[in-house]
Amino acid sequence: MKPFCGRANPTTGALDWVEESEEYDYHQEIARSCYADMLHDHDRNKKYYEGIRAAVSRIKARGERVVVLDIGTGTGLLSMMAVTAGADFCYAVEVFKPMAEAAQCIVKKNNFSDKIKIINKHSSDVTVGPEGDMHEKANLLITELFDTELIGEGALPSYEHAHQNLVMAGCEAVPHRATVYAQLVESELLWSWAQLQPVEVEGLGLVPPPAVGRCAGAHSVCDIQLSQVSPSSFTPLSPLCTMFSVDFSRPVSSTFQSHSTRFVVQTGGRAQVVLSWWDLEMDRSGTIVCSMAPSWMYPQPAMAPWRDHWMQSVYFLPEESRVTEQEELSLTVCHDDYSLWYSLQSHSLQDAPAKAPPSRPCCTCQAHLVWTRSRFGELNDRRRTGSYIAALRSVLSEDSVCLSVSDGSLLPVFAHMLGAKKVFSLENSRMSRQVIEEVLEANSVKGGVELLEIRPEQLTSQDLRGEQQISVLMGEPYFSTSLLPWHSLFFWYCRTALAGILRPSATILPSSASLHMMAVEFQDLWRIRAPCGTCEGFDVSPMDEMIQRSLDFRESREAEPHPLWEYPCRALTQSTAVMTFDFTQCVPKQPISSQGSLPLIRSGRCHGVALWMEYQLTDDVIVSGGLTQPINEQGTCEWSRHRRQGVYFLRSAWDSSGDGRAAVSYSFTFEPSLGDIKMDFSIITQ
């Protein structure tokens, strides 16, 4: 039976009831997963294999049978490594049913079924005994339960339960130990993702609400490819500090803990951000280490292993503080069973009573719940803000009646400051409305913008407080529900719904949007979609086949969102606008189509297509959600840090000679009734 599912359409804003296969979510999770990234991580796999061999050898040297418990087995790779290294039997636990079934196929294909038992349960539900899932406790514990924050996937509770119930006392563990490192830095770039900064652009000044500046912000980690943040973008204030370690061969606690490290300030500045990562010692000797350090920590950055399943963490301190060179400070990290948070303490008052460890930060100003970190960065981008202010100046007059359609936007505030007669703004939530009200009050223009919690199609002239029609409809556009670049076409649907209250000569800002594309070679991102075939000598093709079946399942063959500033790529074709959407007109009834081809003009391996939107604010002002600089001769691209771009991976990569004889053929169709863009790409040759 195919159930009906209600799905919010991010482009049209409607709730679409669609008949979905019962396997829809299953295929989506597999298709959008990054299992292949882990299998392509040779550094990780090699270090695990070395650690497993060493642990098995030690147990064998004691004259004991080697019984393995592998928690979070995934493909069964680590269990197969253990059996190959000499383990007598492995209990491989995997809670995700499709993954457990794939592991069963892989184990059978590699002829390990007599030595590896796949258990499709959460490890906390596994039983031991004659009738249990495990007939005996294990003396070798192998796990891969880690995320970018180390403990965010529930590693501590799983280890805690395993030591209490599933493994012998004094067991060997691979990895043996994890160590967390941190460095205190000052960074205007990174801090702009946490706090709203004062705006001083084009003679216009705006200050953030005091409540936002006092707020500790959202507690969740900001995980990014820190290798793509240049060291020139921050100033280290502390040395790299060792914060704490967890020995996985001993009982582990998931209760609250705090750890402090004293250090002397290297350079005076503003303490704002903590950069953090961890490493794994695969063996008790400490000689087999798998490090998550960013590439700029390596003597040869180009030799640093790339991985997307484990990145680096950015933590924002609860408040900015000034520190001076040679000052002695303590950096404290606290953690519960799933997350970490940092705080900074001074030792200038030697006799001050000890304070309780800081509690987990939480947002009290609501702005950090309304605006994501990338959205904070976008609002703090002076160049971008200057473009919008310049565009507003060119279209506003003293009798302008403005309506803003964007989520949590500062555009209506700017429009009021620039002298518009009346400004209205549609807000998507009460929380968003309250944040903008606080911005208005902080700038002594409370009441200068009429904030309306109403859907565009419900707005009437009666809601305009005596103003009969709108002369300027404006939007960035930005909507919190957007995932892919073209989801911002929701602005077009709003414009259409509002047509009845717009003056015939109304200005629409932006006046149009265009969808751009180019074919690219990814430096590393290709790994998340590339089949593995064999991994460290083991046939994992059933995993490739499972992922391909899910990729072939309806929507899974569409583009997916990625912040391309974190994932370097080279342009192999020119960039071009493939579709234009005229916001001065209503959404058409008929589909819009576009076909063509782009010659491959640079040599390299074409992995797919990058897609983004650009907005024509006025005749002279364009804002890009993709490329921020022209592509250079080598094809190097610089991307916006604020918006995610769309990526369409080709089914098979294509080796381009760069002579223009091969081209990427494209076909786009915008379906107005669905609010969706269907696309297809292929390689053609002369």
Distance CA 69, CA 89 (A): 9
Tell me if 239 sits within 8 A of 265, measured CB to CB: no
Strands 576-582 and 222-224: unpaired
Token duo for residue 405:
């359609």
The catalytic position among 144, 149, 281, 566 is 144
Distance CA 296, CA 277 (A): 13
Q: SS3 of 51, please?
A: helix
The answer for residues whose C-beta is within 8 angstroms of residue 157's C-beta and 6 or more apart is 124, 254, 337
Tell me if 674 sits within 8 A of 641, measured CB to CB: no
The catalytic position among 20, 101, 136, 153 is 153
Please give the span between the terminal C-alpha atoms of the chain, in angstroms, as a whole number. 47
Q: Which of 574, 557, 572, 561 is nearest to 522 (CA)?
A: 572
Tell me if 423 sits within 8 A of 406, measured CB to CB: no
CA angle centred on 514, ends 509 and 515, rounded to 5°: 140
Distance CA 634, CA 248 (A): 47
Token duo for residue 563:
């912040």
Residue 178, strand partner residues: 246, 280
What is residue 457's DSSP assignment? G
Q: Which of 454, 490, 501, 471 is nearest to 583 (CA)?
A: 490
The answer for residues whose C-beta is within 8 angstroms of residue 127's C-beta and 6 or more apart is 133, 134
The answer for residues whose C-beta is within 8 angstroms of residue 39's C-beta and 6 or more apart is 45, 75, 77, 532, 535, 540, 543
153 is catalytic: yes
What backbone phi and psi angles, to 5 degrees, belong to 326? 75, 0
Structural element, H or E, at residue 515:
strand 512-522
Active site residues: 144, 153
